[in-house]
Structure 1
């Protein structure tokens, strides 16, 4: 048994506050009667979930993350599909068609982080924003279809603790012009 202090970590694209508010209002219009709504402040698009990691390794993780090849441009992602993932019991917003640069970047990040993951699950990366957990119903009827655009020029490492997310570090997806 490992007695080292642990942190639950994940990499994500943040969701700007105006977009979080718009998505939250749209979610409210769905009239959900099941599940636990994800707090609006926690909306994000996970790139890679690391899970429990020794706190002493965070600096190494940050160093490796800073050297991952980025797309070199802002990522724009349409969140235009509402789905229920039965196995995970979540209601999610996801892209009908994920941008290739996002998929390549998520894969590069996953490969770079292999030394820090104890039990790497062979899960296919499916970009999504979780709206509700413990969701046990069908896809709700939406009065208006989801048409949200997440535009990201940075990615970040977050710590999850008791339902709260704290950003540990962030990096640009686009190199700044000197």
Structure 2
């Protein structure tokens, strides 16, 4: 999947842009920010036994956020299991003092930053991804890859 996402990048990302390291490609479910140790334990507990089955996600749309100068790839429509996963996490995280995001959830993978203009219209095959786990990742400054996986939870394997 990472290779398929990176394949069209040379044609899409201008020289001044910064492509996302392949190991940093991710789909944010809930942004947490920096967490104190007690809140971190609460978050870890909230993500345990989430009860959502593994699911297929088709990353079939290329997009551009002009304000943040981000080139991204995401789904045209959000599958029900992804909606359920985000809603369940948001609900459980309220007990940790983390309020749900007020904006509508817009799943996307950041492919590149500092992209100053929308890319040319390009046709590329959808990238299919079987989502089988959820991770807690933390950013670390100055290193590549930028994110470190702190914990991983498997989604329910039942269909």
Cα displacement (A) at 1:118: 5.6
**Which TM-score applies when normalising by structure 1?**
0.77
**Which TM-score applies when normalising by structure 2?**
0.85
The reply on whether 1:60 has 2:42 as its aligned counterpart is yes
- Given candidates 109, 118, 123, the residue that maps to 1:138 is 118
Partner of 1:149: 128
Deviations 1:77-103 (A, max 9, x none): 111111111233211101111211111
Aligned ranges for residues 150-169 of structure 1 at < 5 Å? Answer: 150-162=129-141, 164-169=146-151
Deviations 1:120-145 (A, max 9, x none): 54121111111011222013332x32
Q: Secondary structure at the match of 2:28?
A: strand
Aligned ranges for residues 26-105 of structure 1 at < 5 Å? Answer: 26-68=8-50, 70-72=51-53, 74-105=54-85
Q: Which 5+ residue runs of structure 1 have no aligned equivalent?
A: 1-18
Partner of 1:14: none
Structure (1 or 2) with the greater strand fraction? 1
Cα displacement (A) at 1:154: 0.9
Q: Secondary structure at the match of 2:106?
A: coil
Q: Secondary structure at the match of 1:132?
A: strand
Partner of 1:113: 93
Q: Which 5+ residue runs of structure 2 have no aligned equivalent?
A: none
Partner of 2:3: 21
Q: Secondary structure at the match of 2:8?
A: helix
4+ residue runs of structure 1 moved beyond 6 angstroms? Answer: none
Cα displacement (A) at 1:48: 1.0
Deviations 1:43-68 (A, max 9, x none): 11111111121134322211121043
Partner of 1:7: none
Q: Tell me, in whole angstroms, the C-alpha distance in 2 between the residues paired with 1:139 and 1:29.
A: 9
Cα displacement (A) at 1:37: 1.1
Q: How many corresponding residue pairs?
A: 155
Q: Tell me, in whole angstroms, the C-alpha distance in 1 between the residues paired with 2:125 and 2:17.
A: 19
Q: Secondary structure at the match of 2:62?
A: strand
Q: 1:117 to 1:123 in 2, by over 3 A?
A: farther
Q: Secondary structure at the match of 1:101?
A: helix
